[in-house]
Amino acid sequence: MRKVSLHKVEFGAKLAKTIFNADGRVLLCAGVVLRDTTIEMLKDFGIEEIYIEENISISIKLKHVLNDRTRSEARASVRQMMGNYVFVNSVEIQRVKKIVESFINLILSNDEIVSSLTEIKTLDTYTFAHSVNVCVLSLIVGIEFGYDKDKLKDLGIGAILHDIGKMNVPKQILKKPDQLLVDEFEEIKKHTVYGYEMLSNFKDVSVASAVIALSHHERFDGSGYPLRIKGRDIHEFARIVAVVDVYDALTSDRVYRKKIRPQEVFEYMTTIAKDQFELRVLDAFTKYVLIYPPGSGVILNSREKGVVIKANNKQPTKPLVRIVLDKNFNRLKSHHDVDLSLSNDLFIIDACEI
C-alpha cells in the first residue's frame, strides 16, 4: 500500500486502508474501487490523503501499535467527552481509563514498537485524533523509560486528556482560520489552567495526570506557559507530552496551516528548537517514530524517485527504497530495491509524491 494525495488518485484505484469518520464509524472500507463520486465524497469530509493498493507497493504492510478499529473507537470516546463542550463526568473518566489500560496492554504485547503517525485525519477530527496519538506516543516513551503499569496509566490518562481545557475556550477562537490576535492567544493559553482545574476535581485522576494538562506547554528552556518554569521543575510526564504534542501538531493539517513533513519537523525539533525539550525525552521519542514510513515517496540524490518499503529504526534516514522512477522521472519498466544503509553514495534528499 502507498499513501497518495487525494487530488492525484486516479479513477479505478483500490483503497488499501479503511477510513473512519469522526464518530468511529466506517466511512469507506479497504478494497473499495474508487469512483469520481467516492473521491468527491472524501474531499467533502476534508480528507486529503488516502492509501491505495497497487503493484509497486503491494508488498508494503504498515505496522501500528494500535489497530484501526481500536484507535477509531478511542478517538470517538474522546470526541464524545470533548466534542459537545459539556460537563465531563466520572463515567467518562472511567471510560478513558479503560481505553488507556487497553493501549498499555496492546503496546506491551507488540514485538516491534514503532509508530509512523500515518493515520488519516480530517480537520474535524484533529483534536480527538491528536489526543489519541499523543497518548499512544507518550506511553511508548514511558515504556522506554521503564515505567511500571501504574505510572503508565497516570501518564496515559494525562496525555489523552491534555487538551481537555479547550472545552472552556470559545469555539470561534479554537477554529479561527486566521492568525490569532494577542488577546485571543492569551485565551487559548488558558486551556492549560482550565484543564488542570477540571481534572483536579476527579478523585480518581492523579495529581500527576492533572499536571500534564497544566504543564504540557512549558518548555525546558523556560520559554513556555502558563508558569514559565523550566528544566526539571517541569514534571517528567509533562516533559514527555510536550515533545509528542508538538510533533503531532506540526505533522497534522490545521484550520490555519497545512501540515509540515515529518522529516522537516524532526530536523526542526532536534536542531532549531532542541533547547525547548529535554534531550533524554527527545532521544527516546525519535527512536520510535518513523521519519520515512513504509509507503511514503522519496527522492534520492541521484534524482531517482522511490517508495519506502521498509523503515530502518537504527538509521531512520536510510530505509529500504524501491526505485520506480529514473532520474528523468520516467517510470521504470522493472523496479529495483536499494538498501540505503548499505550504500555510501545514495541518500534521501527529500520526500515526494510518486
Residue 181 lies in a domain: yes
37 and 80 inside one domain:
no
Residue 302 lies in a domain: yes
134 and 276 inside one domain:
yes
40 and 120 inside one domain:
no
Residue 329 lies in a domain: yes
281 and 306 inside one domain:
no
Stated as kind and residue range, the H or E segment containing 270 is helix 262-270
84 and 226 inside one domain:
yes
Task: For residues 120 and 332, give the distance between their C-alpha atoms in angstroms, rounded to a whole number.
Answer: 29
163 and 211 inside one domain:
yes
Instruction: Show the domain range for 323.
Output: 297-352
Q: How many domains does the chain have?
A: 3
119 and 261 inside one domain:
yes
73 and 50 inside one domain:
no
Residue 292 lies in a domain: no
pLDDT tens-digit readout, 45-70: 778 788 888 877 777 776 666 666 67
Residue type, 157: I
Burial class from Cβ neighbours inside 10 Å (0-12, 13-18, 19+) for residue 289 reads buried
310 and 240 inside one domain:
no
pLDDT tens-digit readout, 276-314: 999 999 998 888 877 888 888 899 999 999 999 988 877
86 and 232 inside one domain:
yes
pLDDT attached to residue 178: 85
- Domain stops at, among 286, 312, 338: 286
Residue 100 lies in a domain: yes
Please report, for the domain that includes residue 88, its CATH number: 1.10.3210.10
Task: For residues 111 and 205, give the distance between their C-alpha atoms in angstroms, rounded to a whole number.
Answer: 30
Task: For residues 204 and 218, give the distance between their C-alpha atoms in angstroms, rounded to a whole number.
Answer: 25
Task: For residues 32 and 54, give the distance between their C-alpha atoms in angstroms, rounded to a whole number.
Answer: 13
Please report, for the domain that includes residue 12, its CATH number: 3.90.105.10
Residue 62 lies in a domain: no
303 and 276 inside one domain:
no
* pTM, two decimal places: 0.81
Q: Which residue, chain included where needed, has cell 505496522?
A: 63
Query: Per-residue pLDDT averaged across 269-280, rounded?
Result: 94
Residue 291 lies in a domain: no
pLDDT attached to residue 290: 78
Radius of gyration of the chain measured on its C-alpha atoms: 21
First to last CA, the chain: 13
169 and 312 inside one domain:
no
**Among the ranges 3-17, 49-63, 135-149, 286-300, which has the highest mean pLDDT value?**
135-149
- Domain stops at, among 241, 260, 286: 286
Residue type, 135: C
Residue 72 lies in a domain: yes
Q: How confident is the model at residue 123 (pLDDT cuts 50, 70, 90)?
A: very low
pLDDT attached to residue 278: 97
146 CB neighbour count, 10 Å cutoff = 7
DSSP for 90-105? Answer: HHHHHHHHHHHHHHHH
pLDDT tens-digit readout, 101-122: 988 988 887 655 555 445 545 4
pLDDT attached to residue 66: 64
CA nearest to 128, candidates 165, 86, 82: 82
